[in-house]
A and B are shown apart, each in its own frame.
Chain A
Amino acid sequence: MALATLAEVAWADYQLNFQEPATKLAREVYDLHMMMMYICGAIFVGVFGVMFYSVFKHRKSSGRTAATFHENTTVEMVWTVIPTLILIAMVWPVTKTLIAMRDASSADITIKATGYQWKWGYDYIKGEGEGIKFMSVLSTPRDQIEGRAPKGEHYLLETDNNVVVPVGKKIRILTTAEDVIHAWFVPAFAVKQDAVPGFIRDTSFRAEREGIYRGQCAELCGKDHGFMPIVVEVVSAEKYAVWVAGQKKKLAAAAEDPQKVWTLGELKQRGETVYAQNCAACHQPTGKGLPPAFPAIDGSKIATGPKEAHLNIVLNGKTGTSMQAFDKQLSDTDIAAVITYERNAWGNHAGDMVQPADVKAARQ
């Protein structure tokens, strides 16, 4: 097939084949695909060689009269049996690779990847780094997306917190989701696994080379499906140990005193950041939303009414809509801050505050 021949040509910067494989299995997939290309290419040339010979030689305009044959059992048997044999030959190596791909046992590190609309949450749940958790959000600025700033080299394929893993270790990824189905897809590892809400699936990879590998959510998950990338940094064992230590320190620092009483100004300031990261995609930086799918917060009944209802919707979400539950995503302080911000930003002047202790109480 033309694809096969083209793929061999080094053609400017265009990417004509898979991304450079970074795992043994990805390389096997690469080779399987090339094998398929060659076999299909050969069949294609064979069949259409015959057909185009006919097209050029058996023309009415060159005075041909038609033969009258219209069946031949032997020929028909042959071209039923031979393709069957070819298929069996093709399927054998694919089966072997598939079985290897699905073996996620004896992993060195297990990471849970949770899909949210529209970001990924990671929990390192087993192995070195156990206990580390963070959210990973697209870090490409809005200005680049909307054409007000030149686009960077890794446009749409960059996050604020990359997944970091050590080179040469088997990493098991458990996928799940909070709201709708997402898919965790990193082409260089030949890994793609749907993240289904309410269920846990797994996949695994063992990266052979250090480097940064970029992928994207691969299952339509709503408005910002195109804006939830996956970036995996494969580093040496030493660097990984340093990263783990740094993350642990960060986690400890983030564990704030839940009884601390914050001022309105402090809460609003922190809430603005939390809002930008978690709420602005739907409710917009202006608080006006995109009604009716994403209602306005500015002037809304919930944000101007009693704070209990406001706490409830942020903690538990609203079923049947895109409003997700943030209870597992954000800390008490962050939830307190963002609610306080929403109640006192734009045209909202409730004047009241929600303290981390209130959130803690509401969680029970």
Chain B
Amino acid sequence: MNATTTANGHAEGHAGGHPDHGHQPAGLMRWLTTTNHKDIGTMYLWFSFAMFIVGGCMALMIRSELFQPGLQIVKPEFFNQLTTLHGLIMVFGAIMPAFVGFANWMIPLQIGASDMAFGRMNNWSFWLLPPAALLLVLSMFVPGGAAAAGWTLYPPLTIQQGMGMDMAIFAIHILGMSSIMGSINIITTILNLRAPGMTLMKMPLFSWTWLVTAYLIIAVMPILAGVVTMTLTDRHFGTHFFSAAGGGDPVLFQHIFWFFGHPEVYIVIIPGFGVVSQVISAFSRKPVFGYASMVYAIAAIGILSFTVWAHHMYTTGMPISAQLYFMYATMLIAVPTGVKIFNWTATMWRGSLSFETPMLFAIGFIFLFTLGGFSGLVLAMAAVDVQMQDTYYVVAHFHYTMVAGALFSAFAGAYYWLPKWTGHMYNEKLGKVHFWLSFIFFNMTFFVQHFLGIAGMPRRIPDYALQFTEFNQISTIGAFGFGLSQLLFLYIAISCIKGGEKAPAKPWDGAEGLEWEVPSPAPHHTWVVQPIVK
């Protein structure tokens, strides 16, 4: 961890060393052809923010319709398209690319590598994303509209849909290819390009979390691609994988999907664990407590995530023995997750704490993610889950882990590394305002949804019984507050790129790691000569 020694007489001031990139194309061609990890990281981050806005607008349309009982704004069939695309776009278009953006930017800097292992493939991984996103968005305008079976795409409903479903399937194929290539790149980079002396157990936790995540992606994205392809052949080529009439089983899809889907939720959250570990340590001015147990906990969570998939399916009518097994296995995950939360608390204990924006988001993350963990524990209890399955309680639960979890940790990372990326300090006051607005409106939106679910309001309905009105109204107001607050982040980020107080190489006095030894902004090429870590 304490890798602070640069080698070969390279002064920190020009760790970049290579002033010459006059041969590179400028303008649009620079971005189309770049193989530079920083350029590609930047593109990933902008792309994911754009998708976040698109998916967010869909969420606001959903919440608008749910502001009061009755059908006012959208038709039920369009409502289902919105919930489906909102899920697909947020998971595959916003959250996953955001963390791949962080990985591209930070992993080479953190491990002292000059770039990612496969530059050309890196470029291709990114440029697959825009066409996939376009397929998803444009599918709303084809006859029959977009896929409307929920992001989980359960058949036989998917068999009934129009060509929007095929477009979604192809988009998933392309997004999967992109993630797999990105992961191959990350694994190769981490395993082969670490600076001399940077052993795996000295590696910063963000890089560690990505190593585990990348393996998860390689393991499960082909499974998702397989299962949507089975849907495709059922739709068009007369197979009956999911049709009982032809000897298939609709529930088979759910088993395969969740064998992908459960590791997927950890793919979304684990890099966030890494960001938060580093931010908490930096602003507590103390090394991470239990570094080794953090690494083991991440690995344990990654492995266990393959053994719990059917807890998403307690009500499908599986045998009781299966219900019991999946319940016990799921609860086991609470142990390594608990270890992480205790370790973060112990990292803060007797530290020297300050509360800049990254720290606020990191603490917000721990606080809300723990709530999401507890509701997950409630859902894991099969007997209790019978009441909760497919209600708003589930919606509340996974937004606590995905929004307050993954998204908040992404904001923590963005504020933490913005000075390194742009060479300027962001506006601290506005950053704090952004945090508090996000925190308050997030809870306003999603906390009340627990009550809706407990009272029996099913998810994915465009209209509801009168007793659910008040909480839905609170939730909708919160959602608009949350959505608008994110425009503030856009403003903060753009002003930070354009100017502001000059950032030193290491703007946070408690931060550690090689990324803080290159200048801010990080020059186009860094660690051309690898540092030696002692």
A contact set with B: CB distance below 8 Å? 1-3, 13-19, 28-29, 32-33, 36, 40, 43-44, 47-48, 50-51, 54-55, 58-61, 64-72, 75-76, 79-80, 83-84, 87, 90-91, 94-95, 97-99, 101-102, 144-147, 151, 153-157, 175, 179-181, 183, 185, 187, 190-194, 196-199, 201-202, 214-227, 290-293, 320-322
Contact = CB atoms under 8 A, between A and B. Distances in A.
A226 B76 contact: yes
B76 A293 contact: no
Contacts of A19: 455-456
Interface stretch (B51-59, B114-122, B342-350): B342-350
**How big is chain B's contact interface, by range?**
35 or more
Given A145-B70, A181-B154, A40 B374 contact: yes
Contact of A320 (B160, B390, B466): B160
A175 B370 CA distance: 37
A54 B384 contact: no
A102 B323 contact: yes
B77 A84 contact: no
5 contacts: A44-B371, A80-B335, A99-B320, A181-B154, A290-B75
Nearest to B338: A83
B61 interface: no
A292 B141 CA distance: 12
B351 interface: yes
Contacts, number: 297
Contacts of B190: none
A14 B462 CA distance: 21
Interface in B329-383: 331-332, 334-335, 338-339, 341-343, 345-346, 348-355, 363, 366-367, 370-371, 374, 377-378, 381-383
A270 B345 CA distance: 71
Contact of A55 (B150, B250, B348, B458): B348
A80 B339 CA distance: 6
Contacts of A15: 451, 454-455, 467
A101 to B, nearest CB: 6
A51 B460 contact: no
B450 interface: yes
B27 interface: no
A74 B263 CA distance: 31
B351 A155 contact: no
Contact of B386 (A29, A47, A144, A198): A29
A320 B249 contact: no
A226 B500 CA distance: 51
Q: Which 10 A-B pairs have the closest CB atoms?
A: A198-B244, A226-B461, A201-B317, A187-B456, A15-B455, A67-B350, A66-B352, A40-B374, A66-B285, A70-B287
A66 B463 contact: no
Interface stretch (B4-12, B95-103, B290-298, B489-497): B290-298
Central interface residue in B150, B456, B459, by most chain A CB within 10 Å: B456
Contact of A192 (B320, B331, B378, B387): B387
B324 A95 contact: yes
Nearest to B84: A220
B460 A220 contact: yes
A217 B334 contact: no
A218 to B, nearest CB: 4
B437 interface: no
B156 interface: yes
A193 B317 contact: yes
Contacts of A290: 75, 77
A2 B370 CA distance: 13
A293 B454 contact: no
Given A47-B342, A54-B353, A222 B348 contact: no
Contacts of A94: 327, 381-384
Central interface residue in A50, A55, A226, A321, by most chain B CB within 10 Å: A226
Given A14-B470, A36-B377, A60-B353, 5 more contacts: A16-B451, A28-B383, A70-B287, A91-B328, A187-B455
Given A66-B286, A198-B245, A47 B159 contact: no
Contacts of A194: 315-317
Interface in B243-263: 243-245, 249-251
B317 A196 contact: yes
Interface in B464-495: 464-467, 470-471
Contacts of B463: 145, 156, 226-227
Interface string B47-72: 00000000000000000000001111
Contacts of A145: 70-71, 463
Contact of A181 (B157, B447, B467): B157
Contacts of B75: 290
Contacts of B161: 293
A292 to B, nearest CB: 4
B464 A98 contact: no
A33 B342 CA distance: 24
Contacts of B86: none
A40 B378 contact: yes
Nearest to A12: B470
Central interface residue in A87, A220, A321, by most chain B CB within 10 Å: A220
A66 B350 contact: yes
Contacts of B391: 218
B149 interface: yes
B422 interface: no
Given A156-B463, A181-B156, A70 B384 contact: no
Contacts of B17: none
B179 interface: no
Given A29-B387, A51-B345, A292-B162, A68 B286 contact: yes
A343 B277 CA distance: 69
Contacts of A192: 315, 386-387, 389-390
Interface string B495-506: 000000000000
Interface string B295-321: 000000000000000000001110010
Nearest to A15: B455
A13 B451 CA distance: 13
A68 B250 CA distance: 56
Contacts of B354: 59-61
Contact of A226 (B284, B363, B458): B458
Contacts of B162: 292-293
A48 B91 CA distance: 29
B143 interface: yes
B21 to A, nearest CB: 41
